[in-house]
Amino acid sequence: MTETAYNVSDFLKENVEATVEQKEVKIDRFPKPFVIKTITEAENTALRQRATVKLRSKNGQVRTETDGDKYAGLLVVASTVVPNFSDAVLQENYGTGSAVDTARTMLRAGEFATLAKEVTEFNGFNEDVNDLVEDAKN
């Protein structure tokens, strides 16, 4: 194994490619494209924590589990710049009280799935979680 010279400056923020990138996603029913962005792992961890629930088994043991649907909604909302699902006018128009509910109400099921797929791929999650589970079983 060849050692290369380690220089901490190679890893400083100012010497690393920008961490936030943006991309347009066209959904046919809407006149303008949606704009999504990448998020950091720190942001992703916070989303996962918000989507984690505590479950008590019959024998009283407590375990934690990530609610996949809740996590997907939070990830889509956190990664979507335009439209801003937290916008009060948008929420009032769709009759919702939260950003996730607004996204789920204004998008058809397939549109939400498309946006979620774009968000996950853009953030570097290139494999479907279900595929990873199946691979682990085999």
pLDDT grade for 85, boundaries at 50, 70 and 90: very high
- CB within 8 Å of 115: residues ≥ 6 apart: 25, 27, 34, 36, 76, 80, 103, 107
5: which residues sit within 8 A by CB, 6+ positions away? Answer: none
Strands annotated E in 1-138:
22-25, 34-37, 52-56, 62-66, 80-82
Model pLDDT, residue 2: 57
Distance CA 20, CA 35 (A): 12
Q: Which domains does the chain have, with CATH numbers?
A: 11-124 (3.30.2220.30)
Q: What is the pLDDT of residues 108-134, one digit of tens each?
A: 999 999 999 999 999 998 755 455 444
pTM equals: 0.81
Enumerate the β-bridge partners of residue 35: 24, 82
Q: Above pLDDT 90, what percent of the chain?
A: 66
Contact 34/83 with Cβ under 8 angstroms? Answer: yes
